Chain A
Amino acid sequence: MPDSIEKVSIIISKGSFDGIYPGLIMANGARAEGIDANLFFTFFGLDAIHRSRHEHIKLSTVGNPGLHLATMLGGLPGMSSVMTHYLANKMEALDIPPVPEFLEMISDTGAGLYACKASVDLFGLDKSDLIPQVLDIITVGEFYALAAGGQIIFT
């Protein structure tokens, strides 16, 4: 085993605010260290690269014990928007960009963005529904070929 990581392939499988950001931060951080990075968006993670949806990524306030919010409060109308707004502001203060800008930035760092073919088919999407930074819609097999020789991180 080499003593440094040269390449990572990060899978983003969830479509919530807290499901998407960790993978984006890991990918951007990899590139900042000179590590090659690929991002593979699958299942609801596709929302992160969906043209009309990726501006409206929301924090899940129901069934999210990390928020330390009473379960019934989490389900109140608008709660998810309020909490998302609150967290997004805190992140902006730390220089963490909104999802659309972050994806554009990660693409500009030279990381590859890919969509999962099975998920694209499942949701009846095609490449025109996805942001232009997405390089390709690929199968699981193609993803493994792309990830060969590096580490795979599932989020």
Chain B
Amino acid sequence: MSDATYAGRTVAVDPEGFFVDPEQWTDEMAPEIAAEVGIGELTDRHWQVIKFMRHEYEQRGAGPTVRVLGRTSGVSIKELYELFPKGPAKLAARIAGIPKPRGCI
């Protein structure tokens, strides 16, 4: 475990950069985390996914799979991969400050 600084605040992250405590996350941190994973600008569509990730995590205690994202987030799987080319479930979880999804699907 190590520390990272986003939006001027120090937060605990795991070795891959995922938040250890999602409570430490704030909206202002998202653009800085996104820049770290190669996403230059967060559009409204990115935000729709990020908000959905947060909501799912709060409801179920885990981030959704890509299949669930594609069905219920209002963003299709095709678009999810356009928004987060290096893997939507993983990248959106990281930007949304929730733990890394561990499913195989």
Residues of A within 8 A of B (CB): 25, 28-29, 31-34, 94-97, 105, 108-110
Contact = CB atoms under 8 A, between A and B. Distances in A.
Interface string B54-69: 0000000000011110
Interface residues of B, number: 19
| Minimum-distance CB pairs A-B, first 10 | A34-B86, A108-B77, A108-B78, A34-B87, A32-B87, A95-B65, A95-B105, A110-B81, A109-B81, A33-B87
B1 interface: no
A33 B90 contact: yes
Chain B contact residues: over half helix, strand or loop, or mixed?
helix
22 contacts: A25-B105, A29-B104, A31-B87, A32-B87, A32-B89, A33-B90, A34-B85, A34-B86, A34-B87, A94-B103, A94-B105, A95-B65, A95-B68, A95-B105, A96-B105, A105-B66, A105-B67, A105-B70, A108-B77, A109-B77, A110-B78, A110-B81
Contacts of A105: 66-67, 70, 77
